[in-house]
Amino acid sequence: NAGVTQTPKFQVLKTGQSMTLQCAQDMNHNSMYWYRQDPGMGLRLIYYSASEGTTDKGEVPNGYNVSRLNKREFSLRLESAAPSQTSVYFCASTQERAMNTEAFFGQGTRLTVV
Amino acid sequence: DAKTTQPNSMESNEEEPVHLPCNHSTISGTDYIHWYRQLPSQGPEYVIHGLTSNVNNRMASLAIAEDRKSSTLILHRATLRDAAVYYCILRSITSGTYKYIFGTGTRLKVLA
Protein backbone atom coordinates (compact mmCIF):
# COMPACT_ATOMS: atom_id res chain seq x y z
CA ASN A 1 0.00 0.00 0.00
CA ALA A 2 1.29 3.44 -0.92
CA GLY A 3 -0.54 5.27 1.88
CA VAL A 4 0.15 9.01 1.61
CA THR A 5 2.41 10.09 -1.24
CA GLN A 6 3.98 13.53 -1.45
CA THR A 7 5.76 15.06 -4.41
CA PRO A 8 8.34 16.38 -4.77
CA LYS A 9 10.59 15.14 -1.95
CA PHE A 10 13.00 18.05 -2.26
CA GLN A 11 12.68 21.51 -3.83
CA VAL A 12 14.72 24.70 -3.94
CA LEU A 13 12.92 27.91 -4.88
CA LYS A 14 14.03 31.47 -5.34
CA THR A 15 12.23 34.16 -3.39
CA GLY A 16 9.06 35.14 -5.24
CA GLN A 17 8.69 31.92 -7.20
CA SER A 18 5.55 29.86 -6.95
CA MET A 19 5.05 26.15 -6.66
CA THR A 20 2.51 23.50 -5.74
CA LEU A 21 3.14 20.63 -3.38
CA GLN A 22 1.16 17.55 -4.26
CA CYS A 23 -0.35 15.01 -1.89
CA ALA A 24 -2.37 11.91 -2.69
CA GLN A 25 -3.75 9.14 -0.50
CA ASP A 26 -5.12 5.77 -1.56
CA MET A 27 -6.96 4.84 1.65
CA ASN A 28 -10.30 6.49 0.76
CA HIS A 29 -9.92 8.88 3.68
CA ASN A 30 -12.24 11.85 4.06
CA SER A 31 -9.91 14.27 5.82
CA MET A 32 -6.55 15.57 4.72
CA TYR A 33 -4.07 17.99 6.30
CA TRP A 34 -1.00 20.05 5.51
CA TYR A 35 1.62 20.73 8.19
CA ARG A 36 4.97 22.44 8.24
CA GLN A 37 7.87 21.57 10.52
CA ASP A 38 10.70 23.98 11.12
CA PRO A 39 14.05 22.70 12.44
CA GLY A 40 13.80 21.44 16.01
CA MET A 41 10.12 22.26 16.21
CA GLY A 42 6.86 20.37 16.26
CA LEU A 43 4.38 20.28 13.40
CA ARG A 44 2.13 23.27 12.80
CA LEU A 45 -1.13 22.94 10.92
CA ILE A 46 -1.40 25.07 7.78
CA TYR A 47 -4.70 24.00 6.24
CA TYR A 48 -6.99 21.04 6.45
CA SER A 49 -9.89 19.57 4.52
CA ALA A 50 -12.52 17.71 6.51
CA SER A 51 -14.11 16.32 3.37
CA GLU A 52 -14.02 16.68 -0.39
CA GLY A 53 -14.98 20.19 -1.39
CA THR A 54 -14.19 21.83 1.95
CA THR A 55 -11.03 23.48 3.26
CA ASP A 56 -10.28 25.42 6.44
CA LYS A 57 -7.38 27.40 7.86
CA GLY A 58 -5.15 25.96 10.52
CA GLU A 59 -2.62 27.68 12.78
CA VAL A 60 -0.34 29.21 10.13
CA PRO A 61 -2.25 29.68 6.82
CA ASN A 62 -0.71 32.97 5.67
CA GLY A 63 1.19 32.70 2.39
CA TYR A 64 -0.47 29.44 1.37
CA ASN A 65 -3.48 28.26 -0.58
CA VAL A 66 -4.90 24.77 -0.87
CA SER A 67 -7.10 22.81 -3.23
CA ARG A 68 -8.97 19.61 -2.45
CA LEU A 69 -9.04 18.40 -6.04
CA ASN A 70 -10.95 15.22 -5.28
CA LYS A 71 -11.14 12.76 -2.42
CA ARG A 72 -7.63 11.47 -3.08
CA GLU A 73 -5.70 14.66 -3.66
CA PHE A 74 -4.96 17.76 -1.57
CA SER A 75 -2.45 20.27 -2.91
CA LEU A 76 -0.65 23.14 -1.19
CA ARG A 77 0.37 26.19 -3.21
CA LEU A 78 2.91 28.86 -2.42
CA GLU A 79 2.10 31.85 -4.64
CA SER A 80 5.20 33.91 -3.84
CA ALA A 81 7.75 31.95 -1.84
CA ALA A 82 9.62 33.64 1.00
CA PRO A 83 12.68 32.46 2.96
CA SER A 84 10.44 32.14 6.03
CA GLN A 85 8.66 29.32 4.23
CA THR A 86 11.78 27.18 4.25
CA SER A 87 10.59 24.10 6.07
CA VAL A 88 9.63 20.45 5.78
CA TYR A 89 6.02 20.03 4.70
CA PHE A 90 3.96 17.00 5.69
CA CYS A 91 0.65 15.88 4.32
CA ALA A 92 -1.62 13.60 6.36
CA SER A 93 -4.97 11.88 5.98
CA THR A 94 -7.46 10.22 8.28
CA GLN A 95 -10.86 8.61 8.10
CA GLU A 96 -13.16 10.68 10.25
CA ARG A 97 -16.13 9.35 12.16
CA ALA A 98 -14.57 5.94 12.40
CA MET A 99 -13.51 4.00 15.48
CA ASN A 100 -9.96 3.80 14.21
CA THR A 101 -8.96 7.43 13.88
CA GLU A 102 -5.32 6.88 13.10
CA ALA A 103 -3.75 9.54 10.88
CA PHE A 104 -1.26 8.60 8.20
CA PHE A 105 1.54 10.95 7.21
CA GLY A 106 3.59 11.24 4.07
CA GLN A 107 7.37 11.27 4.08
CA GLY A 108 7.57 15.02 3.70
CA THR A 109 8.72 17.63 1.18
CA ARG A 110 11.87 19.48 2.14
CA LEU A 111 11.56 23.02 0.75
CA THR A 112 14.32 25.61 0.74
CA VAL A 113 13.62 29.18 -0.35
CA VAL A 114 16.72 31.22 -1.15
CA ASP B 1 -7.90 23.85 21.29
CA ALA B 2 -6.76 22.14 24.46
CA LYS B 3 -2.98 22.09 24.92
CA THR B 4 -0.55 19.43 26.06
CA THR B 5 2.70 19.78 28.00
CA GLN B 6 5.55 17.31 27.69
CA PRO B 7 9.18 17.25 28.86
CA ASN B 8 11.56 18.32 26.12
CA SER B 9 13.75 15.23 26.36
CA MET B 10 14.20 11.93 28.16
CA GLU B 11 16.77 9.17 28.19
CA SER B 12 16.38 5.46 28.68
CA ASN B 13 18.60 2.43 28.66
CA GLU B 14 17.97 -0.20 26.03
CA GLU B 15 15.58 -2.99 27.03
CA GLU B 16 14.27 -1.01 30.01
CA PRO B 17 10.72 0.39 30.27
CA VAL B 18 10.13 4.03 29.40
CA HIS B 19 7.36 6.20 30.81
CA LEU B 20 6.67 9.33 28.77
CA PRO B 21 4.39 11.79 30.61
CA CYS B 22 1.92 14.29 29.19
CA ASN B 23 -0.15 16.91 30.99
CA HIS B 24 -3.42 18.09 29.49
CA SER B 25 -5.20 19.91 32.29
CA THR B 26 -7.69 21.67 29.96
CA ILE B 27 -8.91 18.47 28.31
CA SER B 28 -12.63 18.31 27.63
CA GLY B 29 -14.82 15.30 28.20
CA THR B 30 -14.86 14.25 24.55
CA ASP B 31 -11.20 14.81 23.68
CA TYR B 32 -9.29 11.69 22.69
CA ILE B 33 -5.65 11.42 23.75
CA HIS B 34 -3.40 10.44 20.85
CA TRP B 35 0.28 9.63 20.73
CA TYR B 36 2.42 9.80 17.62
CA ARG B 37 6.13 9.46 17.18
CA GLN B 38 8.49 10.82 14.57
CA LEU B 39 11.62 8.91 13.70
CA PRO B 40 14.52 10.92 12.24
CA SER B 41 13.79 12.26 8.74
CA GLN B 42 10.35 10.64 8.62
CA GLY B 43 6.77 11.71 8.97
CA PRO B 44 4.96 11.07 12.26
CA GLU B 45 3.47 7.64 12.82
CA TYR B 46 0.58 6.60 15.01
CA VAL B 47 1.38 4.90 18.30
CA ILE B 48 -1.80 4.66 20.35
CA HIS B 49 -4.90 6.55 21.44
CA GLY B 50 -7.49 6.40 24.19
CA LEU B 51 -10.40 8.21 25.80
CA THR B 52 -10.77 7.13 29.43
CA SER B 53 -9.52 3.60 29.94
CA ASN B 54 -5.96 2.38 29.71
CA VAL B 55 -5.08 0.96 26.29
CA ASN B 56 -2.57 -1.59 25.07
CA ASN B 57 -1.37 -2.42 21.59
CA ARG B 58 1.64 -4.09 20.05
CA MET B 59 3.70 -0.92 20.22
CA ALA B 60 2.92 0.52 23.65
CA SER B 61 0.51 1.05 26.50
CA LEU B 62 -1.36 4.22 27.37
CA ALA B 63 -2.17 4.94 31.00
CA ILE B 64 -4.78 7.68 31.50
CA ALA B 65 -5.25 9.37 34.87
CA GLU B 66 -8.66 9.06 36.45
CA ASP B 67 -9.31 12.80 36.07
CA ARG B 68 -7.90 12.63 32.50
CA LYS B 69 -5.66 15.63 33.11
CA SER B 70 -2.56 13.60 32.42
CA SER B 71 -1.49 10.46 30.61
CA THR B 72 1.61 8.32 30.25
CA LEU B 73 2.88 6.46 27.22
CA ILE B 74 4.67 3.29 28.26
CA LEU B 75 7.20 1.53 26.08
CA HIS B 76 7.73 -1.78 27.81
CA ARG B 77 11.22 -2.53 26.51
CA ALA B 78 12.93 0.34 24.75
CA THR B 79 15.05 -0.48 21.72
CA LEU B 80 17.40 1.71 19.75
CA ARG B 81 14.71 1.93 17.07
CA ASP B 82 12.42 3.65 19.57
CA ALA B 83 14.63 6.76 19.59
CA ALA B 84 12.27 9.42 18.26
CA VAL B 85 10.24 12.48 19.16
CA TYR B 86 6.99 11.46 20.85
CA TYR B 87 3.97 13.74 20.55
CA CYS B 88 0.95 13.76 22.83
CA ILE B 89 -2.07 15.27 21.06
CA LEU B 90 -5.66 15.94 22.03
CA ARG B 91 -8.25 15.36 19.35
CA SER B 92 -11.84 16.47 19.70
CA ILE B 93 -14.73 14.58 18.15
CA THR B 94 -17.38 17.21 18.73
CA SER B 95 -15.87 20.35 17.32
CA GLY B 96 -16.73 19.37 13.77
CA THR B 97 -13.11 19.80 12.87
CA TYR B 98 -10.87 16.83 13.41
CA LYS B 99 -7.57 18.53 13.24
CA TYR B 100 -4.50 17.38 15.17
CA ILE B 101 -2.56 20.13 16.94
CA PHE B 102 0.98 19.07 17.74
CA GLY B 103 3.07 20.39 20.62
CA THR B 104 6.86 20.28 20.73
CA GLY B 105 6.99 16.65 21.89
CA THR B 106 9.53 14.68 23.94
CA ARG B 107 12.78 13.60 22.31
CA LEU B 108 13.57 10.11 23.57
CA LYS B 109 17.17 8.99 23.53
CA VAL B 110 17.83 5.28 23.99
CA LEU B 111 21.25 4.31 25.30
CA ALA B 112 22.84 1.03 24.25
| Three-state secondary-structure class, residue A104 | strand
Strand residues in chain A grouped as ranges (E): 4-7, 10-13, 19-25, 31-37, 43-49, 56-57, 65-68, 74-78, 87-94, 103-105, 109-113
Averaged over A91-106, what is the pLDDT? 80
CB-based contact, A38 to chain B, within 8 Å: no
CA atoms within 13 A on the CB side of A57: 7
Q: Do B36 and A103 touch (CB under 8 A)?
A: yes
What pLDDT was estimated at residue B14?
96
What pLDDT was estimated at residue B93?
63
The minimal CB distance from B99 to the residues A33, A90, A108 is found for: A33
What pLDDT was estimated at residue B61?
97
pLDDT above 70: residue B23? yes
CA atoms within 13 A on the CB side of A39: 4
pLDDT above 70: residue A66? yes
pLDDT above 70: residue A28? yes
What pLDDT was estimated at residue A69?
87
Alpha carbons A25 and A2: distance in angstroms, whole number: 8
* B45, β-bridge pairs: B37
Minimal CA separation from A14 to chain B, in Å: 24
What pLDDT was estimated at residue B103?
81
Q: Do A101 and B101 touch (CB under 8 A)?
A: no
Of A44-53, A81-90, B49-58, B93-102, highest mean pLDDT: A81-90
Q: Do A45 and B101 touch (CB under 8 A)?
A: yes
Residue of A43, A55, A91 to mutate, testing the B interface (most B Cβ within 10 Å of its Cβ): A43
pLDDT above 80: residue B33? yes
What pLDDT was estimated at residue A36?
97
- Provide the 10 A C-beta neighbour count for residue A107: 16
Q: With bands split at pLDDT 50, 70 and 90, how would you rate the model's confidence at B56? A: very high
What pLDDT was estimated at residue B19?
97
Of all residues in chain A, the percent with pLDDT exceeding 70 is 96
Which residues in chain A have their CB less than 8 angstroms from residue B43's CB? 4, 90, 92, 105-108
| Three-state secondary-structure class, residue B14 | coil
What pLDDT was estimated at residue B45?
95
Contacts (Cβ under 8 Å, ≥6 apart) of B66: none
- Provide the 10 A C-beta neighbour count for residue B20: 23
The minimal CB distance from B44 to the residues A96, A101, A105 is found for: A105
Of A112, A2, A93, nearest in space to A50 by CA = A93
Of all residues in chain B, the percent with pLDDT exceeding 90 is 71
pLDDT above 80: residue B111? yes
What pLDDT was estimated at residue A25?
96
Alpha carbons B35 and B32: distance in angstroms, whole number: 10
